[in-house]
Amino acid sequence: MSVVDPVANLQALIRCPSVTPAEGGALTALETMLKPLGFTVERMVASEQGMPDIENLYARIGTEGPHLMFAGHTDVVPPGDEASWSHPPFAAEIADGELFGRGAVDMKGGIACFIAAVARHIEQHGAPEGSISFLITGDEEGPAVNGTDKLLKWAAEKGERWDACLVGEPTNPDVLGDMIKIGRRGSVSGKVVAYGVQGHAAYPHLADNAVRGALALASSLMDPPFDAGTPEFPASNLEVTTIDVGNPATNVVPAKATFAFNIRFNDTWTADTVKVEILRRLDAAAATNPLRPGRDATRYEITWAERPSHVFLTRNDALIGSVAASVKEITGKEPKLSTTGGTSDARFIKDYCPVVEFGLVGQTMHMVDERVAVADLETLTRIYGDFITRWFADAVIR
Ligand SMILES: [Zn+2]
């Protein structure tokens, strides 16, 4: 197999059923591709009590700076009902110019293209003027506890330092060249329990309906807006995701009502300041309790979900400019610089070096019949190749 061909690389990776937390042979396949190119490959197993061990991979070529990292994941989400697929999810079949399989775009495809780009670069120019590394986790689609976060710490402890990172997640909404992600919103979730006094629905003065308390608390989080957005980010947004009382009786006033929420916040906030603001709103609503006039403050408890996702914004013009210039060079398109979408592992990488994300078209990710246009694989490989040349030329001058 020639690793300069992204299609062959991707087929080999898709044929490894690496549904989180299974390695599925995917990292071994990567190792087989990278070693002949001159990469030193290390496998790192991360553990956490109560969670399955996860295999990760770190590979580097070169010993000097500048040092460019490519980051991604080989784990994939489950295929769902395999019978619903037009082509089996781990067969990597090609039909009508499209390659089918779980992970085709999210994100074995990005990895396959970057390997092909590096292989072509080495073939044409020899080893890079500096270092290139692959930081690949098997735990991105899962809890992401035994993945990129620990792999970065492990590598940094060994003295690894990076100057820039490209994450190969699918970033384009419709067409290759649409969008580069230069940041991501943060995410915090929590659960609030409001308390009251149980009683007869016909004797409300003897009871205290917890639903009234919960509704006032929930509304205070939804309005007014947390901010109006920034030039780079949309407005922060909080959604109440469930309200639960579980009361089967029509004539009983409930003593307890629970709701949960999730906020996606921009860089006006940090995970800590957004929590402070949420508590301020809850305390104010509990005290004024507009739905419970004349009553004492609503009693409530809040539980925060573990591990909030931190917001980040990359302001490294050299890195953003290189990716954008390569996209323009190969596709003729001016990519939008965006901070939309969910969180990604770039939230961990941003603590070590500037990071941007650019990969395939994301339309079919996590869906039945996940697939990628074979032509896109060649185009992305050429974009990555142009970026590698461009970034090193620029970094060596600097
Ligand atoms: Zn992904």
Catalytic residue among 75, 98, 149, 178: 75
Give dist(CA 20, CA 24) in Å, integer: 9
- Residue 174: pLDDT band by 50, 70, 90 thresholds? very high
- Which pLDDT does position 397 carry in this prediction? 65
How many angstroms is it from 191 CA to the middle of ligand 1?
27
Q: Which helix (H) or strand (E) holds 393?
A: helix 374-397
Confidence of residue 398 (pLDDT cuts 50, 70, 90): low
> What type of residue is 162?
W
Q: How far is the CA of 333 from the centre of ligand 1 (A)?
A: 23
Report angle CA 274, 280, 281 to the nearest 5 degrees.
95
- Cα of 143 vs centre of ligand 1, distance in Å, is 13
Q: What is the mean pLDDT of residues 174-187?
A: 96
Task: Give dist(CA 397, CA 376) in Å, integer.
Answer: 31
Average pLDDT over residues 184-195: 97
The percentage of the chain sitting over the pLDDT mark of 70, rounded to a whole number, equals 99
What would the DSSP string read from start to end of 58-105?
EEEE-SSSSEEEEEEE--B-----GGG-SS-TTT--EETTEEESTTTT
pLDDT at 212: 97
C-alpha 349 – ligand 1 centre gap (Å): 15
C-alpha 358 to ligand 1 mean position (Å): 11
**How many other C-beta atoms are found inside a 10 Å radius of the C-beta of residue 232?**
15
**Is residue 136 predicted with pLDDT exceeding 80?**
yes
Give pLDDT, residue 341. 87
Give yes or no for residue 307 having a pLDDT over 90: no
Largest CA distance in the chain: 84
**In the structure, what pLDDT confidence band is assigned to residue 195 with cuts at 50, 70 and 90?**
very high
Q: How far apart are CA 199 and CA 212, in angstroms?
A: 14
Which is more confidently placed, 394 or 137?
A: 137
φ/ψ of residue 386, rounded to 5: -60, -40
Count CB-CB contacts under 10 A for residue 52. Answer: 14
For 210-263, the pLDDT digits (tens) are 999 999 999 999 999 999 999 999 999 999 999 999 999 999 999 999 999 999
Verdict on whether the full-model pTM lies above 0.75? yes
Strands 355-357 and 256-265: unpaired
Exposure string of 75-106, with b = 16+ CB inside 10 Å and e = fewer, is bbbebeeeeebebebbebebeeebbbbbbbbb
Q: Is 376 assigned a catalytic role?
A: no
Helical segments of 165-297, H only? 210-222, 271-288
The pLDDT tens digits of the residues spanning 310-320 come to 999 999 999 99
Report whether pLDDT(289) > 90.
Answer: no
Residue-wise pLDDT for 57-91, tens only, equals 999 999 999 999 999 999 999 999 999 999 999 99
Q: Given this model, what pLDDT does residue 209 score?
A: 97
The residues facing 167 across adjacent strands are 71, 357
Expressed in angstroms and rounded, the spacing between residue 141 Cα and the centre of ligand 1 is 7
Cβ-proximal residues to 227 (8 Å cutoff; 6+ apart), any chain: 235, 236, 266, 268, 269
Among residues of the chain, what percentage have pLDDT more than 90? 94
Ligand 1 centre and the CA of 113: distance in Å?
15
Which residue among the candidates 23, 98, 140, 345 is catalytic per the annotation? 140
Gap from CA of 218 to ligand 1 centroid (Å): 32
CB 345 within 8 A of CB 158: no
Predicted confidence at residue 143, as pLDDT, reads 87
Mean pLDDT value across the chain: 96
The question of whether 301 is a catalytic residue gets the answer no
Q: pLDDT tier at 173 (50, 70, 90 boundaries)?
A: very high
Q: Average pLDDT in the 323-346 region?
A: 95
Q: What angle do CA 269, 275, 281 make, to 5 degrees?
A: 105
Helices marked H in 192-316: 210-222, 271-288
Per-residue pLDDT tens digits for 101-125: 999 999 999 999 999 999 999 999 9
Q: Give the model's confidence band at 343: pLDDT under 50 very low, under 70 low, under 90 confident, else very high.
A: confident
Q: Beta strand pairing status for 183-184 and 312-313? A: antiparallel
Distance, in Å, from the CA atom of 60 to the CA atom of 34, rounded to the nearest integer, reads: 9
Segment 140-153 shows an average pLDDT of 94
- For CA atoms 137, 143, 149, 155, give the dihedral sign: negative
What is the dihedral sign for C-alpha 101, 106, 107, 110? positive
C-alpha to C-alpha distance for 94 and 264, rounded to whole angstroms: 38
